[in-house]
Amino acid sequence: MLEIQNDQRVARWQGAGLSLGARAFDVLSYLHAHADRVVSKAELLDHVWQGLIVEDGNLAVQITALCKALGRTAIKTVPGVGYRLTIGAAPVEVEGPAVPDIPSLAVLPFSNLTGSVDREYLVDGIVTEIIGALGRVGSFFVTSSTSTFTYKGRAVDLAEVGRELGVRYILEGSIQAAGERIRIFTQLVEAETGRMIWQDRFDGEMGDIFDLQDQVAESVAGALEPKLIWAEAARARAKPTESLSAYDLCLKATPMVARLDSAEGLEEGVKLLRKALELDPAYNHAKALICFACVTGVATRFWSFEKGAMALDYAEEVVNSSEDDPVALAYAGNYLGYVHRRYRDSLIALERAERINPNSATTAMLKGWLHVYRDENDEAVACLTRAKRLSPLHPNLGVMTCGFGNVALQRGQPEEAIVHFEQALSEYPTFMSTVQGLMTAYHAVGRMEEAAELARQYRERAPEFSVESFLTHRAVASQGYVDLTVRAMRDLGFPETGVGD
C-alpha cells in the first residue's frame, strides 16, 4: 500500500519509508492524487516545476527514480500522452484509435544485429522503406514510421502497442550483416494475442537492398490477406537510385532536416544531401529533402524566405518527373505551396503522392496545410485529423496541431486558436509559425503581456522580420488571418519595413 503524507513530505510503500528527492516526491504526490487517470507531461511539469522552463528529460529522470524505488511497473508510460500511477489504483483503460475494418499493421523498429552502431541509421532506413512499400497498398492501413519509431529501444507489450496505435497486426524483425551480405528476419504477430501469423528470412547483397525491401513487403501482404492480388507488386517499383552511397547520405540527412532544433543541424543535413546529388544528380529523393529542408528552415525562422527560395528548380524537377516516389512528391509539392504560393501545382503533387501511398501521415499533414494556406478550412481539418489518425505519435505532431490553430484563427475564433497553439508550442517549441499564430491570438483577445513576450522571442529568432516581409512572403490567403497578424505586429513593435526576415 502506498501512503503519502504531504504535510510531512513522507512517502511509504508497503510500510517502508521511501528515500526520495524533493522533485521525485512532488511527482509521486501528484500522480497519487490523480491515480484515476493519465496525467500529461505538461501538467506534471507545470505543477512540479511551477512555471520554470525545463526539458522533458528532467521529468523522465524523476519517473525513472520512482520506478526504481517502487518497481518497474509502478508507473505506466502512455506514449505521446503522459504517466499514470498503477499501484493502489483501479485499472484504467487508455483508449487508442479504433482499429480499422481493413487489415491494419504497425511495423516496429527492427533490431540492429549488424554488430555496428554506425549502421543503426541503415537499419532504420530499411524499415522505413518497408513501411513505405506497404503503405502503397490501398487495402491496408499502415501506421506511419514516425509513430512506430517512438518504441525504438524499448521493451514493449504487443497488445498495448496494438491498442495505442489502433492496429491488429505488428511486424517485428532484425537485420544482420556480414561484409556485403545482409539478412532480414521478420515475423508477423497478432497484437492482442501475440499469436505468430507468419515469419520469414530474406538474404541478399547490400546492392539488393531495394529488392529485399519489396520482397518483405509483398510477403507481409500475402500473410495478412492471402486472396489479395497485390497490384503494386506486379508493377516493379523503380529503384530510387543506383548509387547506394547517395542513398546512405539521404538516410543520414533525413532526421537533420525533418524536425529542426538548431540551424547547425539543418546546414549539416543539406550538406549531406548536396553530396548525394554530386554522386547521383538525378536522385529525386535528395532534391525533395532539400525542398523539405527549405520549408522547415523557413518555418522555424532559422532561414530567411529568400534563402528558402533556392530549391525551386529541384521542386519542379521532382514534380515533373515520371518517378512515383510519394515522399519526394509530397515534400516538393509542399515546398511549392508554402514558399512560392503555387497552390495549384502543390495540390497536384500532393494528390499524386496520396494516390501512390494512401497511408502517409506526412502527405495528409502537408495536404492539410495546403488547404490552410488556401483558406479551405473544412478540408484542412479533414486532412489534419486523418494525419493524426494515421500517425498519433508523429514527431511533427506540433505542426499538425498548429494547423488546427490556424484554422480557428482564420474562422475568427482566437480563443479556440489559443488552445491549439499552446498545445502545439509544447509539442514543437522551435516551430515559429506557432509562435506567430499564438502571438496574434493573444493580441486578438487582449492578453498583451503574453503577446509581447512571444513577439520578443520572435524578434530574437528573426530580428529583421517586418510587416512588409510578412505581407510579401506569407503563405496564407486568408484576409482575416492577415489582418489580425498585421495589427498584432504593428502594436507589438515590429518594424514596417526590413530586409527579408
- The percent of residues above 70 in pLDDT, for the chain, comes to 87
Q: Which of 45-49, 79-83, 205-209, 491-495 is predicted with the least confidence, judged by mean pLDDT?
A: 79-83
Residue 350, SS3 per DSSP: helix
Cα-flanking dihedrals φ and ψ of residue 4, to 5°? -120, 125
Provide the pLDDT for residue 419. 96
What are the start-end ranges of the H helices in 428-478? Answer: 432-444, 448-461, 467-473
Question: Running DSSP on this structure, what letter comes out for residue 335?
Answer: H
Determine if residue 47 is left, alpha or beta; phi over 0 gives left, psi from -120 to 50 gives alpha, anything else beta. Answer: alpha
The tens digit of pLDDT for each residue in 437-493 reads: 999 999 999 999 999 999 999 999 889 899 999 999 999 999 999 999 999 999 999
Rounded Cα distance, 295 and 331, in Å: 9
Q: Record the cell numbers describing residue 111, joined without a space.
A: 533490431
Contact (Cβ atoms closer than 8 angstroms) between residue 28 and residue 67: no
Select from 283, 221, 244, 254 the least CA-distant residue to 124: 254
Q: How far is Cα of residue 142 from the mean position of the Cα atoms in its chain?
A: 15
The tens digit of pLDDT for each residue in 71-114 reads: 877 887 765 567 788 875 444 444 556 655 566 788 899 888 88
Higher-confidence residue of 319 and 430: namely: 319
Higher-confidence residue of 199 and 273: namely: 273
Question: What is the rounded average pLDDT of the residues 183-209?
Answer: 80
Rounded Cα distance, 29 and 4, in Å: 7
Q: Which of 9-18, 47-56, 380-389 is predicted with the least confidence, judged by mean pLDDT?
A: 47-56
Higher-confidence residue of 23 and 395: namely: 23
pLDDT band for 230, please (50, 70, 90 cuts): very low
Provide the pLDDT for residue 240. 58
Is the pLDDT reported for residue 372 higher than 90? yes
Question: Average model confidence (pLDDT) for the chain?
Answer: 82
Q: Are strands 169-178 and 104-107 parallel, antiparallel or unpaired?
A: parallel
Most confident residue range from 121-125, 141-145, 178-182, 305-309:
305-309
Domains of the chain: 2-85 (1.10.10.10), 104-234 (3.40.50.10610), 241-358 (1.25.40.10), 398-501 (1.25.40.10)
Select from 342, 286, 280 the least CA-distant residue to 318: 286
Q: Which of 321-330, 420-429, 480-489 is predicted with the least confidence, judged by mean pLDDT?
A: 321-330
Rounded Cα distance, 123 and 307, in Å: 33
Cα-flanking dihedrals φ and ψ of residue 152, to 5°? -60, 130
Question: Running DSSP on this structure, what letter comes out for residue 110?
Answer: P
Q: Across the strands, what pairs with 181?
A: 178, 205
Q: Which residues of 316-329 are buried (b: 16+ CB within 10 A; e: fewer)?
A: bbbbebeebbbbbb
Higher-confidence residue of 152 and 259: namely: 152
Rounded Cα distance, 326 and 135, in Å: 10
Q: Which of 229-238, 305-314, 345-354 is predicted with the least confidence, judged by mean pLDDT?
A: 229-238
Q: Across the strands, what pairs with 196?
A: 189
Burial class (CB in 10 A: 0-12, 13-18, 19+), 341: middle
Select from 416, 457, 488, 402 the least CA-distant residue to 53: 457
Rounded Cα distance, 501 and 493, in Å: 15
- Predicted TM-score (pTM) of this structure: 0.66
Question: What is the rounded average pLDDT of the residues 35-42?
Answer: 77
